[in-house]
Amino acid sequence: MSALTQHLHTIFDTAAAGVLKGVRRKKPWGSPPPETELDEGDPLARFKTQLTSYLPPKEVEAITRAYDYSAQAHVGQLRISGEPYISHPLAVADTLARWRLDPNAVMAALLHDVMEDTTCTKEDIAERFGKTTAELVDGVSKLDRLEGQTYEEAQAENFRKMLLAMARDVRVILIKLADRRHNMQTLGAMSKEKQRRIARETLDIYAPIANRLGLNALYRELQELSFEHAYPVRHRVLTKAVKQARGNRREVVGKILDAVRKVLPESGIEAEVMGREKHVYGIYRKMREKHLSFSQVLDIYGFRIVVKDRPTCYLALGTLHSLYQPVPGKFKDYIAIPKANGYQSLHTTLIGPYGTPVEMQIRTSAMHHVAESGVASHWLYKDEKSLSELQRTTHQWLQSLVELQSASDDNTEFLELVKFDLFPGEVYVFTPRGKIMSLPRGSTAVDFAYAVHTDVGNRCVACQINFESVPLRTELRNGDRIEIVTAATAHPNPAWLGYVRTGKARAQIRHFLKTQQNEESAALGERMLARALSEIGQAAATVDKSAWDRFLHDTGARSRRDIYSDIGLGLRLGPVVARRLLARDDALQQELKTEKLSELPGERRNETRRAAGSVVIRGTEGVAVQLAHCCRPIPGDPIVGLIRKGQGLAVHTHDCRTIAKLRGARAEWVDVEWEAYPGRQFEANIHVVTRNARGVLAKLAAAISQTDSNISNVGMEDDGGHTTSVYFTVQVTDRVHLAKIMRSLRRIPEVMRIHRVTEPRHKSV
């Protein structure tokens, strides 16, 4: 447990002792009730009244038929709380009606559980209520959980289905968010364990999606409900603290409200001024992220000013800055540069009476609609011209989900990548042509390259930020001008995964590396199979096509390439595959019917290995053949190969300490040998002990350079006396080249000892 977590636990648990049970959660001061809050009375009558306020009678009648169908399908079913089940789809549909969504979406909300909980099928819904409604219901419905599938795997698969359906039609996620909202409102009937799990899931997935779509009112409500159920003690403590602070600061807030409402008309500005209270979860998150106590969170209250048009926003800003002094660095112009979810507003922090910091948000009424309703504004306020830009940015984000899906073939990985993109862009940078791009905070130049285009990301080799060359891992800052340098032969580096921030960059890098590994593994496997066939007197080119067809049919593999890749990755043994392809007699066929590596006994594996001969190593195979970092083999060293399941072939020196520990492991040992002329440079480590003398490092570097070698890395350690240890990583062609370098270094008078290092200097290396 971190020090911060312990500190928070102490604050909340200590304070909880003095909290009265049953503290009632009150609405924020000065704010209207949530737009989608259900009123008292008959829910069905209220729902129909809402529908008739914006839909013609014919469409209301169709929705009524959908309600009757859903009520009949769920008849006799109860929620855990004991209410009739139909109350849930009715509440979901009521939320969509308050967003003024179209009839198909409202009908889908009423029917969204019938495919999961009843015998009704997608075809039944399409026949009765149309294909569009059926597609929406199918997009929201969960998949059947497969036998042996964990809860996390099933959830990841369902999220993938839902998010891809959302990319086709955003109404899918609006239905799901309304569904999750009502489930969170009624979560108290669940067990404590389920409450925490569902609340955590809502905070991680659904609330960020609501934020990304600009549904800020829903976003805040989901956060508050999740916080209340995930951390009930902390929620009660903070709620009580906010209630007490509300009384203590009422005078300050009232004075600010009066001053603002007086000064704006004096400047000829007509405005609606509203006070608002920071939400409890927002306070908690600020305390956690900035290591603050509650008393140190001063900006609990803020003010929202709604004016008629954009120029008046800036006029109001100047008026407020003349009333109270602004805090330097606390001004943000989201009107000129909107957030990724379409949010627009001016934010400024002022020093109010008694030194109290106060946040002001200034926006137009149209911006206010978008800020509260996001994509739902498309249905609520269709006459607003500003919505076209919001629709465009939302469409781009939805299409990015399709790109992530195509680059990831694993449901859990896809969900992880989506989470990366669910946080709002906070860094605004410029392309060389002056175009503004929004990226998540912490993004690097590599993230920017992939945001421009996948090919730019795959081929980037360097970058310039503000006309200065910087490393690709450099984090971007607001206002940076970025230019990416590409090369036709470049490709993604696995190290990039350690610092990229966006889901797109992470997905495309992983996709490239997987593809590259499959290609290289297939090439290695083909060579290993050819060697195995030659050892038993058969050329690979002469294997009959019918033998391959029979083998593929028996193993269920899709192609020869898959077989080659499995051999290269150690999932199949080359000699076993070779013998099964030839199938010389039934007895041998029966004996070798199981070709998987993990299913062969150790003695049989070793016999099979010896029959296959040696695999020639060039050192240029890439990720399929890896030269072990623990011993750094170079041409001329006696070597041995180790195939471990799913990891390909690792090449070690025969006396490496690492392989000595693995002698008894369930792994495949392969005889390997160096190609006569590998045609590449290899890295070797040497340790030189010298006398302390001026210019000795320059002499060492010059001697290495004279032997046609480059220095990749150098490190020095003072031995505490008259000597210094110098560690070089040099590039050599083979063992003879390394010996030449070491002879050249021995001729230097200051050199006392020199030897090759074949083990890491530190265990963590």
Q: What angle do CA 650, 655, 661 make, to 5 degrees?
A: 70
d(CA 645, CA 566): 9
DSSP string covering 569-627: TTSB-HHHHHHHHH---HHHHHHT---BGGGS-HHHHHHHHHHT-EEEE-S--GGGEEE
Q: Which residue has the tokens 């849930």?
A: 88
d(CA 460, CA 446): 8
Q: Is 519 tagged catalytic?
A: no
d(CA 730, CA 738): 9
The helix/strand/coil state of 741 is: helix
- Residue 467 pairs in a beta bridge with none
Structure token pair of residue 594:
């199981």
d(CA 376, CA 389): 14
User: What is the amino acid identity at position 327?
Assistant: V
Report which DSSP code applies to 481.
B
Sign of CA dihedral 229, 234, 240, 242: negative
Q: What is the 3-state secondary structure (H, E, C) of 153-184?
A: HHHHHHHHHHHHHHHHCCHHHHHHHHHHHHHH
Q: Which residue, 307, 308, 83, is CA-closest to 183? A: 83
The answer to whether 543 and 564 are in contact (CB under 8 A) is no
Structure token pair of residue 623:
């990720």
Crossing angle of helices 696-706 and 735-746, rounded to 10°:
140
d(CA 421, CA 417): 7
CB neighbourhood size of 26 (10 A): 11
Report which DSSP code applies to 203.
I
Report which DSSP code applies to 720.
S
Determine which one of 37, 117, 272, 591 is catalytic.
Answer: 117
Structure token pair of residue 416:
């992880």
d(CA 578, CA 485): 47
Sequence-ordered list of residues with C-beta below 8 angstroms from that of 464, at least 6 positions apart, any chain: 470, 482, 483, 485
d(CA 317, CA 416): 40
Give the DSSP H or E segment for 301. strand 301-307
Q: Is 117 tagged catalytic?
A: yes
- Residue 754 pairs in a beta bridge with 688
145: left (phi over 0), alpha (psi -120 to 50) or beta: beta
The answer to whether 511 and 519 are in contact (CB under 8 A) is no
d(CA 81, CA 363): 42
Determine which one of 13, 116, 544, 554 is catalytic.
Answer: 116
Which long-range contacts (C-beta less than 8 Å, at least 24 apart) are formed by 279-283?
A: 279/28, 279/220, 279/223, 279/224, 280/224, 280/227, 280/235, 280/238, 280/239, 280/242, 281/220, 281/223, 281/224, 281/226, 281/227, 282/220, 282/223, 283/238, 283/242
The helix/strand/coil state of 728 is: strand
Structure token pair of residue 672:
């390997």
Q: What angle do CA 566, 570, 576 make, to 5 degrees?
A: 80
Give the residue numbers marked as catalytic.
Answer: 116-117
